[in-house]
Amino acid sequence: MIGEVNFYGVYFPSLLVMMVIAFAASSLLRRALARLGLYRVVWHRSLFNFALYVIVLGG
């Protein structure tokens, strides 16, 4: 695993880059879940969104 990512001379931690990518992916998934109407069966939407983000980040 790379410790840092160089972006035009600015070093970013690799976890930060992965977190941004996971946020973008989970926001696309949230939008798809909302269009499919699957949020009707979710008890607490915010907790579900957070769990979805953690799962995408871990994957």
Blockwise average pLDDT, block size 10, the chain, 59 residues: 83 91 97 94 94 95
What pTM value is reported for the model?
A: 0.83
- Count of other CB atoms within 10 angstroms of residue 26: 19
Rounded to whole angstroms, how far apart are CA atoms 16 and 48? 22
Q: What is the pLDDT of residue 58?
A: 93
Among candidate residues 52, 53, 55, the one with its CA nearest the CA of residue 20: 53
User: Encoding tokens for residue 23?
Assistant: 């946020």
Q: What is the pLDDT of residue 1?
A: 57
Q: What is the pLDDT of residue 6?
A: 86
Are the CB atoms for 37 and 31 separated by under 8 Å?
no
